[in-house]
Structure 1
Amino acid sequence: MKLASQICLFLGCLISVAAPDLRAQSNIEIDGLGWLGERRMDQRLSFLLGLDHQKAVPLDSTILEDSAFLLLEQMRRQGYLNPAVTASFSGATERSVAEWETPYAVQLPVGFQAESVVFKIRRGPLFYYESVEIKGLSGVELGDPERFFVPGGSLVTRKKDLAYTSENFTRRKTRLLGALKAQGYAGARVVSEQVDTDESTGAVWVELVLETGPVYRVGSVSFDVPAEATGWFEPVAFPEGSIFNPDWLREARTNLRNVAYSAGYPDVAVRSRLADTRGDTDGVLQAVSFELRPGPQVTLSDVRFVGDDKTKNSILWRQADLEPGTLLDPRETDKARRRLMALGIYKQVELNYDRREDGSRVAVYRLTPDTRKKLQLLAGWGSYEQARLGFRWAHQNPWGRAHRYSLNAKQSVKATHLASDYQLPQLFGSDFTGYVEAEYVSRQEIGYDRSRQGGLFGVSKLLGDSGVRLALEYGWFNERADGIDESMLAVRDDAQVASVSLSLSLDRRNNVLAPSSGYNLYTTVKTANRALGGNVNFHKLEVGGGYHFSVSESTILHLGLKGGALLGGGMDLPFNERFFPGGENSVRGFQQGEATPLGDDGDPLGAESFWVANIEIEQRILSDVSVVGFLDAAGFSRDGGFGGDGEVLASAGLGLRYQTVVGPIRLEYGHNLNPRERDPDGTLHFSIGFPF
């Protein structure tokens, strides 16, 4: 009952705070799709008709016929190929009912009007791929070619995931042929196709016969370049024998264009011509000739910014980092466009060129500012904190220097969190972003209460194209812990921590909210010292990362490892700086902070050093539903190191996840494999977000 009430409370918070407005016109109603489906179709219809969904709309024959046509088309796109729509009118001038079937035909006379309408949709059978048979691919390494038509990635495939339409059938054939051509089968084609359908059940049987032809490889490469270009053009080396495919041809043309761009020829045209072919033991060698027409050499005479009269020109010039009078390289002007977007204050940045009489050009950046002031309502859930509600107020570009500040407030059953930050891009004309933050936290932990208030300032920078982000910070915080047993642990329960920290992070995951491949790494080194303005001395090191990869198309392995250590603190060490592993994102057999050394009363004391390892197998059942099996382990020491007082705890468990746009909703149970006397047998967690 407790878990059920928690889930209901969570859903109520989420719907009330974050649910989109699904209302449509008050005088247009959709029926026959279920409550949520009808609301979505209402909203979709409003969008397609270009109507304000909060207002009633005059219903004439044009609006009603367009609505019926769009509803039929929306159903067909979902795989319901024979839908019908019945309209029941109120206040109509001539008739009270009309019906449209597939194929669409006009039903209402010109001049027809009604006050309101209910469209009842009869979807008919869902047409779906019952089987797909592909012939002619023997000896071709293409995995399972049926997967181009029948999706994988889960143990159970729903009928709606197999929906058949003539449009998606054509797209999937094109992707299949594209995959063959990417392997060098330039002549791959469909020799014959047969599509049989059962109109009563919607089952579709597909048979394709393909002809791949030989593998094409790159043969001789020649260049047709005008004489005036010989001074700057250097032929690009293309080794013979590479797989010849559209990607190779595209990349070759791009490389040749880049050679011309670097010499100031932005209008260069590169054309390719396939010349003779000759056979060899590995297939066919394709000779290719490239024709290069550079056009005029162009100078960048000026840079203009239009559409934003709030931001100072000096900021925009510094961010664009372009120098008038130099040769125009479109790659550099496009990099400048991306740098302007990186300021974070624009919805869109468009790049165009104005031509001058002397042949030079002006780069014109059309800037579309984003909303300057935003208020966001926040909602979340954690198994320990339970419901979290709050808001975030953000103000962008308040002084015309691309600065940003925000105010954040969150309240949960266990904690109060208030924070504000101010960001300054291009600090002192550099590539560093400066920031200032202030924070107040009051949180009820298991066995004690802690609070933290103070602030920090720092700088951060993305190191080139490496993806590594560096941050250097100075912080001052007052940290207090109430309710700890000082006889069990010689630490400070009230400390002023002044510190300098250095952080490095790298994130190569394909999806931060729900990763299925890639990795991330991070490390932070923090030094607190009285000379910096506090009253304690210590060092703190934290490192960690995760790795994710697919074992099969429906199975993902997740690995996580993190650890940390406190050094040189002694009796100066603040209690709040100790490590408290355990919880929904750590060792899941425990509540938040319970997988630590315990006092005589069973309350957590925290550790001076720790490590946590997570191994997790995720098996997708449906495209958005997964089951997980996990093994979590933590090692820790109350007084540092992993010597005589070190312990290791482990838990194993199962969970269920539902993927949403804000991350997975998780229901997990972790069972403790080696519980101590006062440890629970296990813990049930209900939370949102990926665990590591």
Structure 2
Amino acid sequence: MISPRNHAASPIGKNGRWQDGLRAVRFGAAGRHGVRPSFRISRFAFFFLALLFVLSPALPGEPAAPPPRARISVRGAGWWGNIQQVRTINQVLDAHRGPTVNANEIEDIAFLLLSYFVDDGYLRPKLDIRVTAPDGAKDSYSCDETFDLDLPRDLLAAEVRFEITRGRRYHLKHLSFTGLTALPESDARALFLPTTAWVGFSPPYSVNTFKHSISALLDELRQRGHAQAAIDASGLLIDHSTGHVTAEIKITPGPIWKVRSITINDPQTAIDTAELQKLAGRPWSQWWQQDLSEQTRQIYFRHGYPDIQLRLEHTSGAITGSAGMSSMSLRSEPARESSSAGDAVPVSVTLHVTPGPQVRIGKISLVGDRHTRAATVRRRIRPREGDLLNPVLLENARYRIAQLGVFDEVNLATAPEGASVRDVTFAVKEAPRHQASLLLGWGSYEELRGGIELRSNNLIGIADQTRLQFVQSMKSTSGDLNLTLPEHLIRSVSTAIRLYGLHREEVAFDREEYGAAITFRRFFGRSRYDTSIGYSYEYLLNKNSTVETYTGQDDRSLAASIKLSVGRDRRDNPLLPRRGWHWLIQSETASQTLGGDANYQKYRFTASYHTTWKRIRWIHAGIDFGLIEPIAGDTPAALPLNKLYFPGGQSSIRGYQEGEAAPYAPDGASYLGANIYALMNLELEQALTENWSAVLFYDLLTDKAKLAADPGYEWLHSLGIGIRYRTILGPLRLEYGRNLNPRPNDPKGTLHLSIGFPF
């Protein structure tokens, strides 16, 4: 990210430290440009009270002692593996189990452990079970992968210890294919390798995993139209002395089945189904049958036939089959007439349709909306009473109601069944009106930060959502009040009203901002365009600045501006993208005619692209461009310092802390805020395990200030490595960026710990 930003959780900072106790003397971010001591007793009090709130139990008296439970432990799986296995055992067993476990429970645990290690490639594990009875008597039992375990039926144990001896781990060392012509060998081989396999990696071998891979290969062949494909995996050699497994897979793909014709048999209606003919000429497969079924249902739904039933028949040479489309299951015997693998087998399809009655909507009812105005919910329901009943449109209405964000559940029902007129009922369950959450986070610059967030729903009964957030970090204090009105003022357009305040130590000055804004946003779901327009009024103040500024440049200003944005997001997962792209264009125009005293135009363009390389590697690329210029007739001195760019940080060029990559003044002793910058990020990410990955990155930044004495554009390069752990909030990142061409006072490199994808 590029500073400045107007939100509370943006991580920045440099030399801030708390020194001792209640004095909380903190040395500011002036760094080598001077020390600015300041007292922040309120920050110490904030974290102290927050710690008490989290750690101190809210209890009126002494808690009751938990009931005794049987002790279960695992040894032999490694310290972390032991912990994971015990956790799994606790999840499987009843959480309220008593002080003992019986023979059946012990056998279940033994089977669970042995199955886990056999599936992980340890084909011959041994398990020793040491039990301690309630009276202290000890006994032991053992079993292996055959699970030959015979426990006394009256056995009760207060403590059980499972000691696993994993033995040799087996690996699929050699894998070869014969007769594979329907798909590239690399695609077939990928079905036998885990998603985190390195080049030349031999995956662990187990019977179940191997069978699953064979089944996946067969499904892939049939999806491509090879309905009679067969696989022979009998050529499997296991060397128990080395653990090496050799597999030779013989594939008989058979001919490709292609749909030659589609006939719709509907004696009841005359609905036009010509659009289904576009499915002819495609390979015949179970997936093709699902496509035909879904598209046929969509046609009849539009004409008010929600009870449609389908039955499919196909003819291919001497083969005839039929299937009810509800089960979508179809098996064919081998062809009685031989056909070479190179010839396509024509398939003629007949779809028998039983439409059922044509249905219209009767009464539309809404139940459960205690605090939400009915008009707010009904505005989301497009179908009207008397319309043809289209289940797809009703489901879309249910989804749109759920998008209001104030309901935990939204259910849809129609009644009575079989009638030609049916009433529609939307039953909602409202979410709690008031919620409070504690916030805790870490950023490489701001370091520790925490706060509280209060949320309220339906304060005025129009599905409005109010959020009040206070965040305190080592370098910033912020407050944010948001009121969101979904599609209330304008159809399909949500309205957001925001009040905010921010005090933050930048690398070269203290930022203080207060503002109000109103924004109208519309999201186009099908194309995934996101657009917004808004008006903001901000009071901008900078203190203790070491930035070289223009003569006469004010340290405070009022910015009244119109903000526009348009973007499109086609990433598979915005929090953890693996493939896809996105772009965003933003503009901000401030003018005295809008009510402030600042005149400028500010633009920003960001884009990213993500692609997968051999399933376990990903390439990420991002660009970020920003420009701010005074409106014609004004001088650069009219630009507020708070609106200039100070690049650097964990989401910018990673060899620097946030703000440290800003251009220097000619004397090299103070920063200049950049008027223009361009940033490029390139990453190669390699999966290590299911959740861990390593990354190699390169960042390039060029920026420029518009002072007359500014020497011009400078180019900064950072190269680095990092490790990431996948979480539900995005990747937890530990990265080190090394500066390839540091300026005289730049750091050699910077270590960042943060959460969230960098671009």
Question: Shorter chain as normaliser: what TM range?
Answer: 0.7 to 0.9
Change (3 A) 1:241 1:87: same
Partner of 1:122: 164
The structure 1 residue matched to 2:581, chosen from 499, 519, 532, is 519
Q: Give 3-state SS (helix, strand or coil) of 2:658's partner.
A: coil
What are the residue-to-residue correspondences of 1:98-137 with 2, within 5 Å?
102-104=145-147, 109=152, 112-114=155-157, 116-122=158-164, 124-125=166-167, 128-131=170-173, 133-137=175-179
Whole-angstrom distance in 1 between the partners of 2:475 and 2:419: 69
2:716 counterpart of 1:650: yes
2:231 counterpart of 1:187: no
Q: CA deviation at 1:198?
A: 5.4
Q: CA deviation at 1:586?
A: 1.4
The structure 1 residue matched to 2:684, chosen from 609, 617, 620, is 617
Change (3 A) 1:618 1:457: same
Q: Give 3-state SS (helix, strand or coil) of 1:595's partner.
A: coil
Contact 1:268 1:295 survives alignment (8 Å): yes
Contact 1:216 1:286 survives alignment (8 Å): yes
Q: CA deviation at 1:545?
A: 0.8
Q: Give 3-state SS (helix, strand or coil) of 1:322's partner.
A: coil
2:450 counterpart of 1:450: no
Contact 2:489 2:495 survives alignment (8 Å): no
The structure 2 residue matched to 1:287, chosen from 345, 348, 353, is 348
2:132 counterpart of 1:89: yes
The structure 2 residue matched to 1:418, chosen from 447, 461, 479, is 479
Unmatched tracts of structure 1, length 5 or more:
7-14
Q: CA deviation at 1:275?
A: 1.1
Superimposed CA distance per residue, residues 398-449 of structure 1 (whole angstroms, 9 cap, x where no aligned partner): 5553322223333333222332322221223622222222222222122221
Whole-angstrom distance in 2 between the partners of 1:591 and 1:504: 29
Q: CA deviation at 1:262?
A: 0.8
Whole-angstrom distance in 2 between the partners of 1:203 and 1:348: 53
What are the residue-to-residue correspondences of 1:429-578 with 2, within 5 Å?
430-485=491-546, 488-490=549-551, 491-568=553-630, 570=635, 571-578=637-644
Partner of 1:629: 696
Contact 1:125 1:200 survives alignment (8 Å): no
Contact 1:80 1:123 survives alignment (8 Å): no
Question: C-alpha root-mean-square deviation of aligned residues, in Å?
Answer: 3.7
Q: Give 3-state SS (helix, strand or coil) of 1:236's partner.
A: helix
What are the residue-to-residue correspondences of 1:220-619 with 2, within 5 Å?
220-226=261-267, 228-230=268-270, 233-234=273-274, 236-238=276-278, 240-277=280-317, 283-306=344-367, 309-355=370-416, 358-370=419-431, 372-398=433-459, 400-428=461-489, 430-485=491-546, 488-490=549-551, 491-568=553-630, 570=635, 571-599=637-665, 600=667, 602-619=669-686
Q: CA deviation at 1:336?
A: 1.7
Change (3 A) 1:83 1:16: farther
Q: CA deviation at 1:35?
A: 4.8
Whole-angstrom distance in 1 between the partners of 2:130 and 2:379: 60
Contact 2:739 2:747 survives alignment (8 Å): yes
Partner of 1:9: none
Contact 1:154 1:623 survives alignment (8 Å): no
The structure 1 residue matched to 2:191, chosen from 148, 151, 164, is 148
Whole-angstrom distance in 1 between the partners of 2:463 and 2:724: 38
Contact 2:581 2:610 survives alignment (8 Å): yes
Unmatched tracts of structure 2, length 5 or more:
1-13, 18-50, 56-65, 319-338
Whole-angstrom distance in 1 between the partners of 2:281 and 2:409: 43
Whole-angstrom distance in 2 between the partners of 1:416 and 1:659: 29
Q: CA deviation at 1:212?
A: 0.4
Q: CA deviation at 1:60?
A: 4.9
Q: Give 3-state SS (helix, strand or coil) of 2:351's partner.
A: strand
Contact 1:669 1:683 survives alignment (8 Å): yes
**TM-score of the superposed pair, with normalisation by structure 2:** 0.79
Contact 1:132 1:149 survives alignment (8 Å): no
**TM-score of the superposed pair, with normalisation by structure 1:** 0.86
Change (3 A) 1:110 1:370: farther
Contact 2:301 2:391 survives alignment (8 Å): yes
Q: Give 3-state SS (helix, strand or coil) of 2:379's partner.
A: helix
Contact 1:469 1:505 survives alignment (8 Å): yes
Partner of 1:12: none
Change (3 A) 1:59 1:617: closer
Q: CA deviation at 1:244?
A: 2.8
Superimposed CA distance per residue, residues 554-599 of structure 1 (whole angstroms, 9 cap, x where no aligned partner): 4432221111211225332210100111222212232211222223
Partner of 1:11: none
Amino acid of the structure 1 residue aligned with 2:190? R
Change (3 A) 1:201 1:328: farther
Change (3 A) 1:78 1:57: farther
Identity among equivalent positions (%) equals 27
